[in-house]
Chains A and B, each alone.
Chain A
Amino acid sequence: MERTLSLDKTLTPVLFIAYQFPPRGGPGVHRSVNFVRYLSQYGFNPIVLTVRKEDYKNADEQTDESLLATIPENIRVIRTKSYQPLTFINRMNQLRIFRLFWYFLYPIFWERTARWPFKVTKIAEEEIKANNIPIVYTSSGPFSTLFLGRRLKRRQNVCWVADLRDPFTDAYAWHFPSKLHWLLARRVEKRILAKADIIIVNTPEVKKLFLQRGIGTENRIQVITNGY
């Protein structure tokens, strides 16, 4: 499902991957929607890859239809299925055995959105080829979008800019099946972020921490705070 568009050929296209995008509401979308709104003023044309409207509702996520009006009409928005295994998770939760899957099959069930990057790779690749896109931007969380960024960089030889709206394993808000899983996630996080051309974080304190952890260098980690 796509919006109509009229691309300005003088602008550099950017594949803007934001799983959380209007009509989803909540704090995670404002950064993406505002970047999309103003990027064309600075010579870039974002092509947004996100999730179908109805899938946010099916997943019981907050929605705010009024935010759709803030997206410029000429921006192309590609919407895909969310591929969240909601029925399976709900069933397993009812049987009180989801924890077993989470614990022993963590690479599959670590995030509800874990399948999305792999399912939409083909769509993203076709878009990159069709529009000669040189830059892929990923907005995380969900952190599974980092896998998509890394895949596209490797397979399509594009620049990958990874924007972390929040830190992942350093944040207190995320739960892991055990400390062992957390340590594993931490290693994977470091290895994936090492592949990004630029890592954007949203506070100077996170940059300091990432430098201490050896995740990137002074130049590769940039701070862009949120805004209004």
Chain B
Amino acid sequence: MVTIAYSGSLDGFDPKTRKRNRNFLCRWFWTFNNDTVDASTRSGYYLIQAIKILRDKYQVKPNDIQVDWWGKIDVLNMKQVAEENLEAYFIYGGYLPKQESLNRIAKADLLLLPLERSKIPNRGTLFIPGKLYEYLNTGKPVLALCETSDCKTILEKSGLGIFAPPDNPMEIATVLLKILSKEMELSSFKANKKFIQQYSFINKTRELADIFSYCLSHNPDKSDK
């Protein structure tokens, strides 16, 4: 059996409630957010669809694959799972303390990383989820549902990335099927430890300390304080 884990905040998505085009007055004088990403891709929607495809088309059973997710999981995901009768494939949990969360990640075979798709041409998403680094530290393969972005680059270099488009359930299902059929061996993913090491917080703190030192050396009056 393959266990896929996800820890953190996960949005929900319901295509029926996709935002309608707003008129001029609403756009300028009503609640506004800088709508630069396709937020649906930061949800569990497409993964749930993919699991449905695996069940319906390829007769994959709950004892073949389990999705274990915890944290701030939007109820829309749970609703979608219930509507599709996929409850047996999913395990939910609420917010866990950091160490408990890391222990649970350590038990998984594959780690899930859905990433929002940028709507701005020639610009990737601005975000790299903090959990990416926790994932890298485990040395386990990461199923990233993402397009070209800083996050994808890091995963490629780490040697742990398995990629699928963020909004294509069929392709996500195909990747999962390859894993289930052992066509893609999870044990064949070898972490590039030297590369991953640079993301330890000890090293990141050194970068911060270098910035502090730079500030002081360029403001000698302040370093004499």
**A interface residue numbers (CB < 8 A to B):** 12, 14, 25-27, 30-31, 34-35, 37-39, 41-44, 62, 64-67, 132-135, 137, 157-159, 161, 166-167, 169-182, 197-198, 200, 202-206, 208-209, 222, 224-228
| Size band of the interface chain B makes with A | 35 or more
Contact assessment for B204 and A205 in the assembled complex, using a CB-CB cutoff below 8 Å: no
Beta-carbon nearest neighbor of B136 in chain A:
A228
Contact assessment for A39 and B211 in the assembled complex, using a CB-CB cutoff below 8 Å: no
> Given A225-B204, A227-B203, do A171 and B128 touch, yes or no (CB 8 Å)?
no
Contact assessment for A41 and B32 in the assembled complex, using a CB-CB cutoff below 8 Å: no
Q: Which residues of B contact A132 (CB under 8 A)?
A: 225
Contact assessment for B98 and A64 in the assembled complex, using a CB-CB cutoff below 8 Å: yes
Q: How far is the CA of A169 from the CA of B137 in the complex (A)?
A: 31
17 A-B residue pairs with Cβ-Cβ distance under 8 Å, sorted by A, are A14-B212, A42-B208, A65-B97, A66-B97, A132-B225, A133-B225, A137-B212, A161-B215, A170-B34, A172-B34, A179-B27, A197-B215, A198-B215, A209-B123, A224-B211, A227-B200, A227-B204
> Given A197-B215, A203-B127, do A228 and B28 touch, yes or no (CB 8 Å)?
no
Contact assessment for B127 and A166 in the assembled complex, using a CB-CB cutoff below 8 Å: yes
User: Is B126's CB within 8 Å of the partner chain A?
Assistant: yes
B25-38 CB contact bits vs A (8 Å, 1 = yes)?
00111111111110
Q: How far is the CA of A224 from the CA of B203 in the complex (A)?
A: 10
A-contacting residues, B161-206, CB 8 Å: 199-206
Q: How far is the CA of A157 from the CA of B215 in the complex (A)?
A: 13
Q: How far is the CA of A34 from the CA of B202 in the complex (A)?
A: 8
Q: How far is the CA of A184 from the CA of B136 in the complex (A)?
A: 39
User: Is B222's CB within 8 Å of the partner chain A?
Assistant: yes
Contact assessment for B150 and A228 in the assembled complex, using a CB-CB cutoff below 8 Å: no
Contact assessment for A205 and B126 in the assembled complex, using a CB-CB cutoff below 8 Å: yes
Q: How far is the CA of A173 from the CA of B35 in the complex (A)?
A: 9
Contact assessment for B126 and A178 in the assembled complex, using a CB-CB cutoff below 8 Å: no
Of A35, A66, A179, which is within 8 A of B28 by CB? A179
Q: Which residues of B contact A159 (CB under 8 A)?
A: 212, 215-216, 219, 222
Contact assessment for B202 and A228 in the assembled complex, using a CB-CB cutoff below 8 Å: no
B86-103 CB contact bits vs A (8 Å, 1 = yes)?
000000000101110000
